[in-house]
Amino acid sequence: MPSPGVEKFKIFSGTANPALARRIAEYLGMPLGAIEIRRFADGEIYVQVQENVRGADVFVIQPTCPPVNENLMELLLMIDAFKRASAWRITAVMPYYGYARQDRKDKPRVPISSKLVADMLQAAGAHRLLFMDLHADPIVGFFDVPVDHLYAAPVFLGYIRSHLDTGRLVMVSPDAGGVARTRALAKRAGCQIAIMDKRREQPNEAEVLRVVGDVRGMDVLIVDDIVDTGGTLLKAVQTLLENGARRALACCTHAILSGSAVERIEQSPLERLIVTDTVPLTPEKARCPKIEVLSVAWLFAEAIRNIHEETSVSVLFE
């Protein structure tokens, strides 16, 4: 089946992060598609596509950030609506993939929630997925349809080169699982790396034990995919400073910032938290002087264009 023409290329947004969707559409020089999404009195979600999408290459932008279940259900209904409206191809653009941290059976009698979400997205009718900085790379293997995995590294790299002295910067992985991410960014920036050795006792809590690497007299930049409660991050900051680091910053792609995370960050010695707009910040969180938000809209826009034109997405990282 031949791919559709450029005039059949359409972008739609759910309600989870319309600001990011607008930035992506503006970068591409095209409007967002017309779609009605509302809630009934009992909380059920109503979706109606309000323009013709027959034969169109449709991209649906919807991160499944908090409220995760609401945004996930909304995405599933949108995909189903496009399928029943005879879209040629449906790509779910999920800047943040909810349930990504439940990616394995680490205890008896627990679900693999991220695999279930993958099954639901495919059952709804998604032909392709586009993510950014998945918590665990093996999640890509949960899908039987093509998946493109973007990284926020190019966005962070631009900030690092223009705002930080890379000659006295050490990038820090908060755990062993994030070493590959940290090493890749550090290599491109020309920095050394260090690793936090930690043991997690309970969900959302982490005990940082020691620093593997030399940070004495250096600026440190903690690199992670998600900042949620901030517990792991702030314990890492404290340990790094106790080990002689001059100052501590962090860059985290997805700013969930649950509970009192922002207040804890404001009161901590963390100098700056650099995040992206994959997850929208409430006005209260956005007012925190320590938080700086970088947009990943151009990366998603270029990836969407390349997917539509059937060209390489990985070229964006070369």
Place of tokens 């792991």: 232
Active site residue 187: no
d(CA 133, CA 257): 17
In Å, how far from its chain's centre is CA 246?
A: 29
Marked catalytic residue, from 198, 235, 285, 290? 198
Among 101, 135, 164, 136, smallest CA distance to 253 is for 135
d(CA 295, CA 302): 13
Place of tokens 């002689």: 244
Residues β-bridged to residue 29: none
- Cβ neighbors of 27 (< 8 A, separation 6 or more) are 297, 298, 301
d(CA 75, CA 92): 8
| Three-state helix/strand/coil letters over 130-159 | EEECCCCHHHHHHCCCCEEEECCHHHHHHH
Catalytic residues: 198
